[in-house]
Structure 1
Amino acid sequence: MRTEHEYRPISCDFHDLLEASATQRRTAQFEVRDADGELRTLSARITDIQTRDDGEYALLDRDEEVRLDRIVSIDGARQSDYPD
């Protein structure tokens, strides 16, 4: 049984958007849901995307990392608009 904290893979199309942002080295506007379920907005550049045992992460230029399934949107493109 999956818990709410267990990683949920994101769609390939949304993953491609994140990778494109990293490749272009551009600052993007993110909406991110933290572990407590709070929605926050941040402006950052993705420096790398890493796969780990517990999920995939975007490493940001502000010494922060975000699990990909917690990214709600990037530059207005909402993850929910990209079906699995």
Structure 2
Amino acid sequence: MNTPEPAYTPINCDYYDRLEAWATMRTVCLLKFYDEEGKEHEVSAVIKDLYVLNKAEYLLADNGLVIRLDRLIAVNNIPVPQSC
């Protein structure tokens, strides 16, 4: 039985702008995040897109990886602050 997805918590607005800038510049980013089970991962990828689905924000990487933004820990070793 699947447990329901926890409610989405928006990330800091300024940090979101930084993600958009890295995406626009096609910067290879070090993405540190938690998966659905709470396990920590770290991958290098270019941010291909940022989008909203079912009232949650997501990052699509060029390698096909999709990360819900409230699961991000840090990008390029810059910690993600919580809320706007």
User: Is TM-score (shorter-chain normalized) higher than 0.5?
Assistant: yes
Stretches of 4+ aligned residues off by more than 4 angstroms: none
- Where does 1:31-50 land on structure 2 (aligned, <5 Å)? 31-50=32-51
Across the aligned residues of Structure 1 and Structure 2, the Cα RMSD in angstroms comes to 1.7
Report if the CA contact (8 A) 1:50-1:57 is conserved.
Answer: yes
Q: TM-score, normalised by structure 1?
A: 0.87
Q: Which has the higher contact order (CA 8 A, sep 6+)?
A: 2
Percent identity of the aligned residues? Answer: 33
Match in the other structure for 1:78: 79
State the shift of 1:4 in Å. 7.1
Aligned residue pair count? 81
Match in the other structure for 1:53: 54
State the shift of 1:22 in Å. 0.3
Q: TM-score, normalised by structure 2?
A: 0.87
Query: Aligned letter for 1:5?
Result: P
